[in-house]
Amino acid sequence: MIELPIVQLPLSSPSSHTPVSLHTHRGIDTQHHIGGTAPKVYVETYGCQMNVSDSEIVRGIMQASGYALTNTIDDADVIFLNTCAIRDNAERKIHERLMHLKYYKKRNRALVVGVLGCMAERMRQELIETKQIVDIVVGPDEYRKLPELVRRASFGEKGIAVKLSRVETYDDIEPLRTDGISAWITIMRGCDKFCTFCVVPFTRGRERSRSARLIVDEAQRLWDSGFKEITLLGQNVNSYYDPSSDTDFADLLRMTARAVPQMRIRYTTSHPYDMSNKLIATMAEHNNICKYIHLPVQSGSDRILQAMNRHYSVEHYKERIRTIRTYMPHCALSTDIIVGFPTETLEDHRMTVELMEEIRYDGAYMFLYSPRERTKAWKMPDDVPHEEKVRRLNEIIDQQQRISHEINQQSIGTIEQVLVEGPSRRNPHTEWQGRTDTNKVVIFPHRTDAAAHTRLGYAVGNIVHVQIERASSASLFGQVVG
């Protein structure tokens, strides 16, 4: 296992540790806002669901320290970008965003800009040194320090906190959730897998799990406050283990499913190496555990999987899929695939294409390989030319679209149980949108007749029965029948 360097550098000189009020800086002090309104924090989130969940923790921490939250950037006294470092283009987006934020800083010199999350952890002081606009840089395990760092920054002192922890799980922090019916619950942090392409073990540190009891209590509280769906989150949830109660991930799922029997329960992400029969059986046994598994395969070539340090063979992966389908014939499956990993030949790529054809995923997230500093693959030759990577990517995107379209056609005529999420994105005034437990988006029209509207349960958070009439590769369309 690689030992992570631990860095925690106050960038200002030691003598400037006591905050000094500079006349260009107003200073934020939430304790002394007599008669005034609380300073406002605006959080913008990039990257995966873990970051979405972390932003809720950040909001919780800031609110508990006397800050107000705002969704309007123009009103903000503090702007946080919670960033992602998974691929180069994820980071490029943040660089561009920081350029745009200069406008806000010019308008309000007291504005505090913080870069949080995985890119903060990866780039550390480089961010403060190269981006004048950035006041604080805070990694995923240091969010408790945010209020103090912001306070100091408002007096002109730049700050950085990027120490990774072996124990921090924010177990006692109440996340400030925004969504009405669907909630994320982070059950573990970090990753010990060290896939050779992946920066996450370096940006999020070692694996650690939250207490099972607190997770189940949180699920219960969420149900009591009106949430209808929870997603248990971790980079590799199959490694979840709470030693204090000897609870593994399958146990945790079972405990949660029993504690909130009406709640829809999802989880992500599973690693194929650790996907146990016990977990598959537990999913099959409980109706409220959604029949959908995201099981990233990355490649269909054993040689590439080995170079990626994925710990499984294509045969092991296929055997896991067969077991899943034996226990749960209608379980939906999705995956992640990287094209153009170092040394990937046309033959390796063909094996990925064939695996996708054989498994027939309901959906797939497909990426061009992007070399990341500090990872093992960084030292391998990035030898697939960019145009060839793009060609391979387009080929599998087209293939997946066709397969998703074909699979979705099979739903025509069936009646699906749909959790109503709200107005559809495309036609919010005429259509509703919901999701099946297999995670398919279902679109259905408004009822003009109010009685039917109520009788048929067209309200956010209700389960309605929708007869599917047509389907695209991305969505199902139908009518509510009861």
Site for ligand F3S, rule CB under 6 A: 47-48, 50-51, 84-86, 117-118, 199-200, 203-204
d(CA 455, CA 465): 12
- Quote the least distance from Cβ 119 to ligand F3S, whole Å: 7
CA distances from 265 to 242, 321, 346 (A): 19, 20, 40
Choose between 104 and 378: whose C-beta lies nearer to ligand SF4: 378
Judge whether 138 and 11 are in contact, CB under 8 Å.
no
The Cα–Cα gap between 433 and 418 comes to: 9
- Measured between alpha carbons, how far is 231 from 208 in angstroms, rounded to an integer? 18
Pick what 201 binds: ligand SAH, ligand SF4, ligand F3S, none; C-beta below 5 to 8 Å, kind-dependent: ligand SF4
Measured CA to CA in angstroms, residue 194 lies from 2, 22, 50, 122 at distances of: 9, 45, 18, 15
Nearer to ligand SF4, 365 or 398 (CB): 365
Helix runs in 330-385, H state only: 346-359
What per-residue string of b and e applies to 381-419 under the rule 16 or more CB within 10 Å gives b? ebebeeeebeebbebbeebbeebbeebbeebeeeebebb
Please say which residue, 49 or 220, places its beta carbon nearer to ligand F3S.
49
Instruction: Give the nearest distance from C-beta 298 to ligand SF4 in angstroms.
Output: 8
**Residue (111 or 200) nearer to ligand SF4, CB:** 200
Instruction: Out of 200, 295, 297, 332, point to the residue binding ligand SF4 (CB under 6 A).
Output: 200
CB of 239 to ligand SF4, least distance (A): 9
Q: How far is the CB of 203 from ligand F3S (least distance, A)?
A: 5
Degrees, nearest 5: CA angle 32-33-34:
95
Q: Minimum distance from CB of 196 to ligand SF4 (Å)?
A: 9
Q: Which is closer to ligand F3S, CB of 50 or CB of 321?
A: 50
Q: Report the half-sphere exposure of 359 (CA within 13 A, side-chain side).
A: 31
- Return residues touching ligand SAH (CB under 6 A): 86-87, 197-198, 200, 235-236, 269, 271, 296, 298, 336, 338, 367, 369-370, 372
Burial of 374: CB neighbours in 10 Å, binned 0-12, 13-18, 19+? middle
Smallest distance from the beta carbon of 246 to ligand SAH, in angstroms? 25
State the CB neighbour count (10 A cutoff) for residue 471. 21
**Residue among 89 and 245 whose Cβ is closer to ligand F3S:** 89
Smallest distance from ligand SAH to CB 235, Å:
4
Output Rg (C-alpha) for the chain, integer angstroms.
24
The smaller minimum CB distance to ligand F3S, of residues 121 and 251, is found at: 121
Residues near 299 by beta carbon (within 8 Å), at least 6 away in sequence: 305, 308, 310, 337, 338, 341, 344, 348, 351, 352
Verify binding: residue 139, ligand SF4, rule CB under 6 A: no
The pair of structure tokens assigned to 139 is: 């990694």
Helices (H) and strands (E) in the chain, counts: 14, 21
Question: Residue 273 and residue 71: Cα distance in Å, rounded?
Answer: 41
Closest CB to ligand SF4 among residues 21, 365: 365
Within positions 214 to 253, which residues make up the interface with ligand SF4, using CB under 6 A?
235-236
Q: Please report how close the Cβ of residue 377 comes to ligand SF4 at its closest, in angstroms.
A: 11
Q: Could you tell me which of 371, 361, 372, 370 has the C-alpha nearest to residue 397?
A: 361
Q: Which does 338 bind (CB under 5 to 8 A by kind): ligand F3S, ligand SF4, ligand SAH, none?
A: ligand SAH
Q: Closest distance between ligand F3S and the C-beta of residue 310, in Å?
A: 17
Q: How far is the CB of 97 from ligand F3S (least distance, A)?
A: 15
Among 84, 111, 138, 198, the residue binding ligand SF4 under the rule CB under 6 A is 198
Nearer to ligand SF4, 115 or 191 (CB): 191
Q: Which 8-state DSSP code applies to residue 339?
A: E
In the shown chain, the binding pattern of residues 252 to 281 toward ligand SF4, with x for contact by CB under 6 A and - for none, equals -------------------x----------
Question: Does 367 sit near ligand SF4 (CB under 6 A)?
Answer: no
Least distance between ligand SAH and beta carbon 169 (Å):
17
- CA–CA distance, 77 with 67 (Å, rounded to integer): 10
The answer to whether 90 contacts ligand SF4 (rule: CB under 6 A) is no
Of the residues 63, 180, 194, 457, which one makes contact with ligand SF4 according to CB under 6 A: 194
**What are the structure tokens assigned to 232, written together?**
């248990």
155 or 341, CB closer to ligand SF4?
A: 341
Q: Measuring CA to CA, which residue among 391, 383, 326 is closest to residue 353? A: 391
Q: Is 374 in the site for ligand SF4 (CB under 6 A)?
A: no
The CB-side HSE value for 377 (13 A sphere, CA atoms) comes to 25
Query: Using an 8 Å Cβ cutoff, are 41 and 78 in contact?
Result: yes
- Give residues in contact with ligand SF4 (CB under 6 A): 191, 193-195, 198, 200-201, 235-236, 271
